[in-house]
């Protein structure tokens, strides 16, 4: 018997959030290059910055720089600052002052970032991909900024240049689409068709008039077509490690409305499902029998009749030994669309987990 060791990830210390910097003052401490870089970033986001700088020359340079966002320069001792009106504090002094500012901000319950000092910080700056309304943040918990930058470069190459403009277009029509489709088909599916279909293609190609006209027509007349029926995807979860999921399995999980899973599916795998998807356990637990295959089949069919995208998630590969046969036969007999998404088999998973010759040599 082969046992697989699933990697356990530590919980996130820093939760990715997006902060509206126009709602208050951001305190900035320091006068070196690190402080100036943070000043440029904050002002580019429209922040109102109160800069505690001891270097008059650097401060004058900042005032003449072509940057947006109001700037207040303060030459007082930042240790005496109150920070009561600050929504965040950034310290880039590079010396013992950073420790004092971090302690002061924490005592005022104000979020603080100390540059290159994650142990003193209650928030960190990620590597950023900026496409207007589309912003991607990449973080490594403050442990490896170089790795974050490399990931940013790869994502920059993948994202279309006009993806932010597409998001802005969708934002302008968001309320209108919601009102027009109230009580109708899934709004999420509507926007998925917009992004994945000809409207999104037109927008990304810069044909904005065509995209707007098509989006207007889709909002006004889209509900005249019958609502699509749901489908069941029988997905193999593989040996249990999320990095062994197939690309197709990940895509299906991200599009799921409801996921039925058994005891062989790990929490790491379930975490790859769409955040809003309903998770329903249908396996055996604590030695007690499960609900039975007939009950599972009925729940799958009921979810499909509600027009949901349904995933039946199973450990391993459902094609091995015909494990999906009963469910698949029931669904097809009931006239329900069913698609099998194979998983990585135990043998392949074992091969993937097998160390290379170079790794064995290092261990030896």
Catalytic residues, by residue number, are 262, 284
Distance, CA of 252 to CA of 272 (rounded, Å): 10
Question: Are the CB atoms for 212 and 169 separated by under 8 Å?
Answer: yes
CA-to-CA separations, 304 to 262, 266, 300, 340, in angstroms, rounded: 19, 24, 6, 15
Question: Are the CB atoms for 310 and 203 separated by under 8 Å?
Answer: no
Distance, CA of 239 to CA of 251 (rounded, Å): 18
| Cβ neighbours for 364, distance < 8 A, ≥ 6 positions apart | none
Distance, CA of 212 to CA of 199 (rounded, Å): 8
Largest separation between any pair of C-alpha atoms in the chain? 79
The neighbouring-strand residues paired with 104 are none
Question: Are the CB atoms for 230 and 307 separated by under 8 Å?
Answer: yes
Q: Which two tokens stand for residue 255?
A: 């599009």
**Long-range CB pairs of 76-80, under 8 A, 24+ apart, other chains included:** 76/52, 78/27, 78/29, 78/52, 78/104, 79/104
For the CA atoms of 334, 335, 340, 341, what is the dihedral angle to 10 degrees? -120
């Amino acid at each position: 018997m082969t046992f697989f060791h699933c990697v356990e990830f530590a919980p996130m210390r820093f939760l990715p959030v997006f902060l509206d910097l126009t709602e208050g003052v951001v305190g900035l401490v320091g006068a070196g290059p690190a402080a100036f870089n943070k000043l440029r970033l904050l002002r580019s986001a429209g922040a109102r910055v109160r800069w505690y700088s001891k270097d008059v020359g650097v401060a004058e340079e900042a005032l003449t720089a072509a940057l947006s966002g109001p700037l207040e320069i303060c030459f007082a001792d930042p240790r005496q600052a109150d920070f009561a009106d600050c929504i965040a504090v950034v310290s880039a002094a590079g010396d013992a002052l950073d420790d004092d500012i971090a302690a002061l901000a924490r005592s005022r319950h104000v979020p603080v970032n100390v540059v290159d000092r994650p142990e003193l910080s209650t928030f960190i700056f990620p590597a950023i991909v900026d496409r207007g309304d589309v912003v991607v943040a990449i973080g490594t918990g403050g442990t490896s900024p170089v790795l974050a930058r490399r990931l940013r470069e790869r994502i920059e190459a993948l994202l279309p240049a006009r993806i932010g403009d597409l998001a802005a277009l969708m934002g302008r029509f968001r309320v209108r689409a919601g009102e027009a489709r109230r009580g109708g088909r899934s709004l999420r599916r509507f926007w998925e068709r917009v992004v994945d279909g000809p409207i999104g293609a037109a927008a990304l190609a810069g044909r904005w008039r065509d995209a707007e006209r098509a989006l207007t027509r889709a909002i006004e007349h889209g509900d005249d077509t019958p609502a699509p029926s749901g489908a069941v995807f029988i997905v193999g979860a593989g040996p249990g490690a999320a990095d062994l999921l197939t690309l197709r399995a990940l895509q299906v999980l991200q599009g799921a409305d409801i996921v039925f899973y058994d005891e062989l599916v790990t929490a790491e795998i379930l975490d790859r499902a769409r955040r809003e998807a309903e998770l329903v356990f249908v396996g055996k637990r604590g030695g007690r029998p499960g609900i039975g295959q007939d009950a599972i089949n009925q729940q799958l069919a009921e979810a499909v009749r509600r027009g949901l995208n349904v995933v039946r998630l199973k450990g391993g590969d459902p094609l091995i030994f015909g494990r999906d046969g009963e469910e698949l036969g029931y669904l097809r007999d009931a006239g329900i669309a069913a698609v099998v998404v194979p998983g990585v088999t135990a043998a392949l998973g074992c091969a993937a987990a097998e160390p290379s010759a170079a790794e064995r040599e290092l261990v030896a």
